[in-house]
Chains A and B, each alone.
Chain A
């Protein structure tokens, strides 16, 4: 369950956003509407002027990104020099978690990761699959996806599978998109315009 109330001013841009939901949450909006700013604020990359962020009733507002159990995945997210296999389990191993062979195989199959090699040499779509899988396997409380489904082919199938895997691990997902129809794949839908959110469902 995410309870985020963010109020911040960045230059001439004012963000006034609220999200109170759990499950797969879609935030749709046009370019420049504040999607990325919102996600970065929830992740802790940007400090809001006022408001707070609670994850499963735990107040993370004053915690740095590495202590929030919130992973922000963008199209640039990766650990460049690692091979795919090592990359997938890296998040989990930093937390001291072991990923069982069975689980790793299941996630790879579900998310269509059948390749190896250095992550920074993969195509964008292949890399995004790996980064999302890495985030999933580290079992945070929340995964924020900032348009990181953008370059993945067979998107709908992938997004559905990804949400299914997150749901099974009680991970809330907030994903930003410019495509309104993505909301149909999610449990909840917010739209954001000029920095203000409105809950649609």
Chain B
């Protein structure tokens, strides 16, 4: 009897149980048409769309930082990069709302140049980027740390600057790590609630007919808050039914690279 396997798989079952329960109840006994209405579907699309943009933004913004942290022993920078993960998520939402409000000089400036976080795609993506950056970095940094240094050292010896080495030698060989970190960041962004419930509760103007939609987690919370448990469960099942196969598919892609 492989007791290690038993010890491993029972807790795994506990993790998976709520999701299975949701899928069963949501599409079965508790099914509610409100739970798969166009409102819900638009929420799911909004969440997918915003999360995808978030991941792209993170690759651009935080890959250099991850590499820098991997090569230098700057514990202050490392700690700072982890800050959004150590504070309650609503705080990120509140910070974005306040920063961009007419209450502060920074906010007045931002508003004057057309930057508006409140109830916009920009605010939604900003919040998602901030809250999932730490986990992107936590995934990318160890990948860079475990990379064979010989190519980098050779490039530096040939006279390439650190930036040139990063762009021309490290990045082209980092595809696998980037896909892995993107996967994790994507799941994190899709599951966010606290920060976006504050700064982007509903998106007022958006492409693809998404105007007036809320992120999926907010929509589900709304159903629950209003007392419509069936709708909440069905909507949850819909979100799971969409995001899980997506995650599996991306994992397969990652495995093939």
Partner-B contacts on A (CB < 8 A): 43, 45, 64-67, 69-74, 76-81, 90-91, 94-95, 131, 134-135, 138, 140
Contact = CB atoms under 8 A, between A and B. Distances in A.
22 contacts: A45-B153, A65-B157, A66-B156, A66-B159, A66-B160, A69-B159, A71-B158, A72-B153, A72-B157, A73-B157, A77-B157, A78-B150, A78-B154, A79-B151, A80-B151, A81-B172, A90-B168, A94-B155, A94-B160, A95-B159, A135-B158, A140-B159
**Which of the listed residues A65, A67, A70, A138 has the most CB atoms from chain B within 10 Å of its own CB?**
A65
Nearest to A131: B154
A71 B151 contact: no
Given A66-B156, A81-B172, A81-B173, A94 B151 contact: no
Contacts of A77: 150-151, 153-154, 157
Interface of B: 148, 150-151, 153-162, 164-165, 168-169, 172-173
Contacts of B148: 76
B151 A78 contact: yes
Given A66-B162, A94-B164, A79 B157 contact: no
Which secondary structure dominates chain B's binding surface? Answer: helix
Given A91-B159, A138-B159, A80 B173 contact: yes
A94 B150 contact: no
A94 B154 contact: no
Nearest to A143: B157
Contacts of B157: 43, 65-66, 70-73, 77, 135, 140
